[in-house]
Amino acid sequence: MIETASPTIVERRAKKAERRIKQRQITLLRAGKMHEARLLAQKAGNGAQASKPPALNIGCSGWFYWHLKGSFYPTQMPTKEWFAHYASHFSTVELNAPFYSWPTLGTVESWRKQAEGREMVYTVKASELVTHIKKFEGTKTLIRDFGYIADLLGPLMGCFLFQLPPSYHYSPARLRDILEQLDPQRRNVIEFRHASWWNDEVYAAFRKAGAIFCSCSGPRLPDAVVKTADDIYIRFHGVDRWYRHDYSHDELVDWARRIHQVQAKHVWIYFNNDFNGYAVKNATMFREILTAT
């Protein structure tokens, strides 16, 4: 038997980098096609149905994770039934895949079809092309193009989540660039990963623009419940380590108390601590806490 050497860390990283380059090339092509589709729809005067989400929206950041097989998803359940199983437990989900790969029109249609006959609201994470590659530099058209997803989803559409990298520090110019390029017709959520953005100048500008500042529970980040619009949006990543914290009942009760204090019109909560299925467990627990208080 001929033994083959396992790939080294350097080789694995090189292959990963190569995949990312190809993926980004595909993203550019797909973005171009969605741009064309948006312009055609605009010319035809095709409008979207306004979404009317529930007051309380709690779910997970993503639903298709292999490590949930055998825990949340029954071992013998085929993957084609996973979404229906998820939808039987939660009425909203944060779609993270669009961040890595700009969705095709067919993909968006598949989201519509899988939600038929169900109470489901999607929040869509914006493409890294906007937030991590171009970092909101000259991205107004890209944002409008990505926003066409909301027109396609209609009443199934929740929020657009724009997540910035940890290296993206606060500056008045960056704040202005972000808010000037957002489409005010959409429910826009901005998540920062650097603590410098938690300041009164940012909050005031967000309120004026009607943008939603993403509150979060994450390592080395402020955990204040920030309200800059009628809606509030909170992501739970973990406390000391990213994605690995199992929130206790007392921790979630404290969050519930602070959420009730701000009196938001709509509340959006997504658990991203998917290690060991904590997201499913904590989202279920938190929903019970919030509806009981």
Residue numbers in the chain where pLDDT is lower than 50: none
Instruction: Tell me how long the chain is.
Output: 293
H helical segments located in 154-263: 172-181, 200-209, 249-262
Domain assignment present for residue 4? The answer is no
Distance from the first to the final alpha carbon of the chain: 64
Q: For the chain, how many structural domains are there in total?
A: 1
Domain assignment present for residue 1? The answer is no
Which amino acid is residue 256, in one-letter code? A
Cα–Cα separations (whole angstroms), residue 272 to 30, 76, 115, 276: 27, 25, 21, 11
Domain assignment present for residue 200? The answer is yes
C-alpha span between 12 and 18 (Å, rounded): 10
What integer pLDDT is reported at residue 46 of this predicted model?
A: 76
What integer pLDDT is reported at residue 3 of this predicted model?
A: 55
CATH number at residue 284: 3.20.20.410
Backbone angles phi, psi at 273, to 5 degrees: -90, 70
What integer pLDDT is reported at residue 24 of this predicted model?
A: 84
Q: pTM of this prediction?
A: 0.92
**Structural domain boundaries enclosing 90:** 9-292
Domain assignment present for residue 90? The answer is yes
What integer pLDDT is reported at residue 49 of this predicted model?
A: 67
What integer pLDDT is reported at residue 52 of this predicted model?
A: 87
Q: Would you call 212 helix, strand, or coil by DSSP?
A: strand
188-224, pLDDT tens digit by residue?
A: 999 999 999 999 999 999 999 999 999 999 999 999 9
